[in-house]
Structure 1
Amino acid sequence: MTDAFGGLPPSFSDHYPELARHKDLRAAILATAADHGLDLDLETRSPDPEGAPTIAQFESPRGTMKVDLMRTERGFDITLYSNRGWLSQWADGTTADLTEATGVLAAWKHGATVTGLAQRFPFMTHLRLSQGYDEGNQVTVMWDLQIGDPTFAQYRELLVALRAEPQLAQMFPFFSMWTLRLVKDSLRKQPGELRIQQKDNGSYLLWSSSETDENKHEFQQLDDLVAAAAALQTEL
């Protein structure tokens, strides 16, 4: 048996009596915002997936804000996606209170920080890199995260040596397929990156995003690699 609310089972819609008064989740959020004087700016909402009354999406200056309904119990799952660099999302969390969920969206849209958001809405959590991007020190934070990550313990000596070189310390480091990438622009507005692989025999391969695999440079000594990487960085 299904009800008129998007063809969902009554057991589902029973968790959300607010939705009985509105056609879908987005309409319910907008009504809640209006009731509490919260501005979500209808003109900047993003289109919701067709035929999905249980999902609502809105735009913010920092990326899409999405709310999903939980199915087995009452809960509004909130995800604040990112449009900044290599950060996929700012924060997420779940609340059973639609007014709280709407408050999160409004606060984020109008400039709340990730730490301020967590203080006001303790159910919202974020990663250290999110705070780094929010505070503008994402490069420093990412170096700390990579050096401290036990997954890449075998690269720690390499990472520490690269960071000690001032030119390279300004680059944004991350791993992809066990290749260390040092990116010129942490906001992804400009191209250019260095790539480094550490081989089983202890040597290193270095090349840039503008070079082919045939142009990889091999180094036996870490100091030589760092010096070559710093020189190659100036050519990006």
Structure 2
Amino acid sequence: MSEPSFAEGPDARFYPDLVESGSLSQALRVVADAEDLDVGNLRPGSSPELSVYRTAETDSDHGLIRVSTVLNRRAFSISIDSAKGNFVWADGSTTDLADVTRVIHAWCSGVVLAVLNARFPFMEFSRQAEGFERGNPSETAWDILLEDTYYAPQRGVLSLLCANPALSKLFPFYSHDVLRLAMDPFDRGAGEIKIERRNDGRFDVTRSPGGNHLMNIEIADLAAAGASLL
């Protein structure tokens, strides 16, 4: 059985403008042209079946902008992805198709995150995204961890590591409650230092790739041990 057209879909009544235009990308283009807004190479974000009607994407100097319809109500979800690394600059949703085109135009014009949010309060960004924008992602990540009440029990260890000049340049994050210090915040495959607390309160420190491994490290020696693997 063939896939029903978008006009026959259960959400079509929420998107009469998409039904009329034929797809989300086409509807956005119509609105953008009417307001003389640059939305770049706007196109369907996916091709299988009804997805071509529900999704749209366009490129910017900072990464891909993705738009999709929300199910069971009228709303458009917007995500601005990073061109480098695996993070989102900003995201949000609006019921106004014109606002979607204005967000795209503003971001493609080079506005910073704070200005984007001021113009479009529904577009939210994280403190870490702003750290990437300002060019100090590692420093921002350390600050976030040190201030996070969830990691209060680890604050002493984090402070010791952050005080080390070599380690403070690495990008810290927790994965499965294990602290990892990434060599490159934009490329997790570039290598990392993994610091794992043992049951006896000491630590094992591992560098990957390479597998260099230091075991049974006292907390007082932890920063020096981690830096020695760089």
TM-score in terms of structure 1 length: 0.87
Establish whether residue 182 from structure 1 lines up as the match of residue 181 from structure 2: yes
Which of 32, 47, 62 is matched with 1:49 structurally? 47
Which residue number corresponds to residue 216 of structure 1?
Answer: 213
Letter in 1 for 2:129: S
Establish whether residue 112 from structure 1 lines up as the match of residue 111 from structure 2: yes
Deviations 1:111-150 (A, max 9, x none): 2211111001011111111111111121111001112223
SS at match of 1:64: strand
CA distance in 2: counterparts of 1:93 and 1:6, whole angstroms = 26
Deviations 1:39-75 (A, max 9, x none): 1222x75742322111112222222211121232221
Which of 214, 220, 225 is matched with 2:222 structurally? 225
CA distance in 2: counterparts of 1:155 and 1:181, whole angstroms = 13
Work out the number of aligned pairs and report it: 226
Give the drift of 1:89. Answer: 1.1
Question: Is 45-54 or 110-119 further displaced after alignment?
Answer: 45-54
CA distance in 1: counterparts of 2:161 and 2:56, whole angstroms = 44
Gaps of 5+ in 2: none
Which residue number corresponds to residue 13 of structure 2?
Answer: 14
Give the drift of 1:6. Answer: 4.9
TM-score in terms of structure 2 length: 0.89
Give the drift of 1:29. Answer: 0.6
Judged with a 3 Å threshold, the aligned counterparts in structure 2 of structure 1 residues 210 and 17 are, in CA distance, closer, same or farther, namely closer
Letter in 1 for 2:12: S
Contact 1:46 1:59 (8 Å CA) reproduced: no
Give the drift of 1:83. Answer: 2.9
CA distance in 1: counterparts of 2:187 and 2:82, whole angstroms = 13
Aligned runs of 1:20-59 on 2, under 5 Å?
20-42=19-41, 45=43, 47-51=45-49, 52=51, 53-59=53-59
SS at match of 1:65: strand
CA distance in 1: counterparts of 2:222 and 2:102, whole angstroms = 51
What's the % identity of the aligned pairs? 32
CA distance in 1: counterparts of 2:58 and 2:7, whole angstroms = 20
Contact 2:204 2:217 (8 Å CA) reproduced: no
Aligned runs of 1:197-216 on 2, under 5 Å?
197-212=196-211, 215-216=212-213
Question: Is 200-209 or 217-226 further displaced after alignment?
Answer: 217-226
Deviations 1:217-236 (A, max 9, x none): 12442221211211212xxx
CA distance in 1: counterparts of 2:139 and 2:199, whole angstroms = 28
